Amino acid sequence: MSCSYADGLSQYENKGVLGLEERYDSVEALRLKCGLLADWIQAARHVVVHTGAGISTAAGIPDFRGTNGVWTLEQKGLKPTMNISFDEAIPTKTHMALKKLVDAKKVKFIISQNIDGLHLRSGVQRQYLAELHGNMFTEQCDKCGRQFIRNFATKSVGKKSLDTVCRSEQIGGRPCRGRMHDTILDWEHNLPDSDLSLSDLHSSVADLSICLGTTLQIIPSGNLPLYTKKYGGRLVICNLQSTKHDKKADLIINGNVDEIMISVMKKLGLEIPEYESTMDPTRNSDTTSKEMDWTIPTSRIKEMNVLYKKVCKPMRRKRKTFMYERERTDTKRETKTKKQAFMMKQDIKAEDTMNTANQVCNNAVVPEDISNNAVKIEDEMKDIEQFDFTANNMTQPDPGLEVNDIL
C-alpha cells in the first residue's frame, strides 16, 4: 500500500507543495485537446512518456500530493480512505494503453517515478521502461547488480537486505549467490545509474514528451521533460493540478488520465487491451530465472548513446550553452527547498488563468513533411480558436457523466 510505503521512508520535512486545487477541462475542450495530442503522437518520430502517481489512483493506490493524497491528508492528521495492497492492485486503462502504444512503436520509452510495479505487470518490457524510484516487485543483487522479478511485493523500503540469494550464473556456470535487497529508494539514495542514463538520453532525443499524472516536483525526475524542450521538441502535460513547468508546455490537458488516454487511443484507432493475469510476470510461477531477469540490457544504453550523438550533438554545437551535466550528488531524489516550494505556490496563485487555446495555436507547428496530419491539425486549431478555454470552462465534471459521453 502506498501508505505503508510512505511510512517506510525516512523523515523528510519538505515534501513539496501539497493539495493544490484540481482543474477540469470542459468536455468539448478535452475532446479537442485529446484529438490534437493524438495527431502529435502520430506525427512524432520519438515519443517519451513520463508517469507519476496520478496514473495509479484508478487502481486504488492514492497519490501523494493530490487533494486526497497521502501527504496532503497526513498534513491534516488524516489517512486516505482509498488504499489497496500492491499485490491486489492491477494495471489501469492508462497502463494498458501505454503498453499498446509501446507495442505499436508509437511510444519509444516510459520514464516512471512510481514504485507500484504496474508498468511491469501490464507487460511493458524492461528495455522500454525506466523505474527511477524502484519497484516493489523487483530485487537486486548486491554482488553482481542484476535485478529479478518477485512474485509478491516487498515489504521493505530503502534498499534493505532480503532473505533471498541471487539466482544468476557467473562465467563458468557457477551461481552468484550474492545477497538480494529491495530496489525502493529512500530520500538519501541516488537514482539507479542505468535507469537515469536511459531517461536522460531518451528525453533529449524525444521530439514529444508527455507527462501523465505528475506535478513534476521531484527532482531530477521532474526536470527530465525539459530536455525535450531544450532540443526543440514538444512538451505535453496531462494532470489535474498545476505544475512548475506549465509555462513551458505546448499543451496542457486538465482531466482524468484514463479518460484522456481512452480518447487519444480512439483517435489513433488503437484498442486498449485488457489486463490478463496470465501475462503478468509477477503472477507466473513457472517462469525461469532468465525470464524473471529485470536488468536493463547494457546494449540499450550503447544504442541510445549512438542515437543521442547523431540527433543531439549537432544541435549542441550550434548552442553557446552546454547541456547540464548532473553531478553524482544531484541524482538524489528530493523536492524543492522550502523557500522554492513556497514561491512555487505563490507563483501558481498569482498566475492569471492561462488561455490554453492561444498557447496551443502558437505552438501547433507540424513538421512540413507530414502534410496529411497538418491538414487535420489546422482544422482542429480553427475549432480551438472558437472555443473559450477560460476558467469558466474548467468546471467540475458531471457526477453522472460517463466516459462514453466524453468520447
List residues with catalytic annotation.
Answer: 133
Contact 281, 275 (CB under 8 A): no
Question: Cα 318 to chain center, whole Å?
Answer: 30
* Distance between CA atoms of residues 275 and 271, nearest Å: 13
Distance CA 28, CA 405 (A): 11
Say if residue 144 carries a ligand binding annotation.
yes
Query: What whole-number distance in Å separates Cα of residue 56 and Cα of residue 248?
Result: 25
Is 176 assigned a ligand-binding role in the annotation? yes
34 is in an annotated binding site: no
Backbone angles phi, psi at 376, to 5 degrees: -65, -45
Contact 218, 333 (CB under 8 A): yes
Cα separation, 377 vs 192, in Å, equals 39
Which of 93, 151, 90, 152 lies closest to 121, judged by CA?
90
- Whole-angstrom distance, CA of residue 62 vs CA of residue 80: 7
Q: Which residues contact 97 (CB under 8 A, 6 or more apart)?
A: 261, 262, 264, 265, 270, 272
Distance of CA 394 to the CA centre of its chain: 24
361 appears as a binding residue in the annotation: no
Q: Which residues are annotated as a binding site for Zn(2+)?
A: 141, 144, 166, 176
